[in-house]
Amino acid sequence: MQHNNVLILDFGSQYTQLIARRVRELNIYCEIHPFNKIPNNIEDFKAVILSGSPNSVRGEAVLHPDLAEIRGKKSLLAVCYGAQYLAHFSGGEVAPSNTREYGRANLSFVKDQEPFFNNIKTGSQVWMSHSDTIKQLPENGMLLASTHDVENAAYKIEGEQTYAIQFHPEVYHTTDGKQLLENFLVHIAGVNQDWTPQSFVEETVDELKEKLGNDKVVLGLSGGVDSSVAAMLLHKAIGKNLYCIFVNNGLLRKNEFHDVLEQYKGMGLNVKGVDASARFLDALAGLSDPEQKRKAIGRVFIEVFDDEAHEITDVKWLAQGTIYPDVIESVSATGGPSATIKSHHNVGGLPDFMKLKVVEPLKALFKDEVRRVGASMDMDKMLLGRHPFPGPGLAIRILGDITAEKVRILQEVDAIFIGNLKKYNLYDSVWQAGAILLPVNSVGVMGDERTYEKCVALRAVESTDGMTADWVNLPYEFLQKTSNEIINKVKGVNRVVYDISSKPPATIEWE
Ligand code: XMP
């Protein structure tokens, strides 16, 4: 099926990905590209959105897109910096604003019955975040709406399907933002709302069938949402030719290796469980530095996976659960090449499985879409709703060196904590939770005996993407019950603390 794609040109705004997510919520397919890299297949895009930017259209750091194939030829919505750009370089004027234009404001319409504002009432709340302001509209500009502090809050260009807004429709505080995007994309640009989880599954399975034919594919399952949904899509496309490998590094949650392996088998996946716990623990022996632990785990994982991949004769592809945020190219403030320089592997030194061709069925999806796609394939709710869990697992939650005994203690503590979150219906309102084993012994008293045992910290955070996070205000009663249960049941622990640090300045994991 040919979708009417929407192109989002990114000028480096912190909200660009949010624009894409709002558009996708309307069942419309969109892609984010850097402002200076208009895709070659521009004819496949029906509408274009210009994002905001930390830069100013005045001065030297102005970011210039090439709109030759866009202006007047496609429906165009310019947001914040985009709106200022259109004004400043088409006969209008942009100047520093006198008042701080940040936060909530209310729209008042200048022109009634403008389709752009269909189903939106005057007074509707919008979110402003800018330090320049449009003093004068561009040539053929027609004012559509103002707020108390911002006269030129929304305008259109006569004779074109070009609309511009100073506020951010993508943020939650703009109450009718989704309606506004729908008005522009569906009713003005005429874009189809046909990007649904079901259509994604059908199209992806067809594409995978065609691309992979009778080839064999190997995929490393982690127990997480992304690799599981990727596996399910591939399974639908190529069945037994998908060879899944699920490695137990000995640092998973209690019983997780067994339980998740059974769940994968229940889904019909061709999966092999490889218990390499001893190999990982050997490699970790004596290591205390977090980065050294991560490296050791990464190295052993590659060795184990490579050994297993060699067992599959004639395998041609490596499947990965890469998602869209991992592949969006970021825009640097200067508009030059992005600051993140990708490391290049020495091809000769790569493990064999890394020389395989790579297939990434989820690389167009955001995390919430991965979950919806999984749900549309009737995948288990528990599997899709699982908290993120780091690749190095409990190794980075055991501060200091790692022993089998410490892993056992932490698995027991973690199982009680997570089990109680589920029992008290708190699990789904928490983004990530886990326990940390501290390298601290403290004095306690049990019965009449003095104890000198380990202390554990519990951590539960709210977040959307792990970049920032807040600790969760768990009920005291829950903490009390959980702490008692841990101290009574887990031999070797006599003290429980709750981590009340946000990220930043702390991080989610302690290592
Ligand atoms: P931090 O601790 O950086 O964690 O605030 C942010 C998110 O990343 C996860 N995390 C990792 N995931 N390998 C992973 O696969 C790692 O080495 C790693 N370190 C942190 C963490 O669990 C949280 O979700």
Q: 429: CA distance to ligand 1 center in Å? A: 19
In whole angstroms, what separates CA 23 from the centre of its chain?
A: 16
CA 425 to ligand 1 centroid distance, Å: 25
> In Å, how far are 96, 132, 321, 487 from 106, measured between CA atoms?
21, 18, 42, 54
Query: Cα(53) to centroid of ligand 1, in Å?
Result: 28
The pLDDT value recorded for residue 334 is 59
Indicate which atom in ligand 1 lies nearest the CA of residue 389.
Answer: 22
Average of per-residue pLDDT across 210-239? 97
Given pLDDT bands bounded at 50, 70 and 90, which one contains residue 112?
A: confident
pLDDT number for residue 338: 43
Please name the residue whose Cα sits nearest to atom 16 of ligand 1. Answer: 390
Closest approach atom of ligand 1 to CA 469? 5
Looking at the CA of residue 503, tell me the nearest atom of ligand 1.
Answer: 5
* Atom number, ligand 1, closest to the C-alpha of residue 467: 6
> Per-residue pLDDT tens for 81-100?
999 999 999 999 999 987 76
| CA–CA gap between residue 469 and residue 438 (Å, rounded) | 21
Predicted confidence (pLDDT) per residue in 292-342, tens digit: 999 999 999 999 999 999 999 999 999 999 999 889 987 765 555 443 333
Q: So what's the pLDDT on residue 333?
A: 57
Whether 253 has a pLDDT exceeding 60, the answer reads: yes
Quote the ligand 1 centre to 501 CA distance (angstroms): 16
Task: Classify 200 as helix, strand or coil.
Answer: helix
pLDDT of residue 340: 37
Does residue 135 surpass a pLDDT of 60? yes
**What's the confidence (pLDDT) of residue 488?**
96
Rounded CA separation 199/277 (Å): 40
**Side chain identity at 454, as an amino acid letter?**
K
pLDDT value of position 2: 64
Distance 427 CA to ligand 1 centre (A): 19
Residue nearest to atom 19 of ligand 1 (CA): 390
Query: What would the mean pLDDT of 491-501 be, rounded to a whole number?
Result: 97
- Which residue minimizes the CA distance to atom 6 of ligand 1? 466
The span from the first CA to the last CA of the chain, in angstroms, equals: 46
Query: What are φ and ψ of residue 407, in 5° steps?
Result: -60, -45
Mutate to test the pocket of ligand 1, among 289, 397, 509, 511 (most ligand atoms within 8 A of CB): 509
**How far, in Å, from the CA of 331 to the mean position of ligand 1?**
23
> What residues line ligand 1, using a CB cutoff of 6 Å?
294, 388, 390-392, 432, 466, 503, 507-509
Q: What is the three-state SS of 390-454?
A: CCCHHHHCECCCCCHHHHHHHHHHHHHHHHHHHHCCCHHHCCEEEEEEEEEEEEEEECCEEEEEE
Q: What is the pTM of this model?
A: 0.89
Among 320, 430, 508, say which to mutate for ligand 1: greatest number of ligand atoms within 8 Å of CB: 508
Q: Whose CA is nearest to atom 9 of ligand 1?
A: 390
Residues involved in catalysis: 80, 168, 170
Residue nearest to atom 11 of ligand 1 (CA): 390
Nearest atom of ligand 1 to the alpha carbon of 510:
2
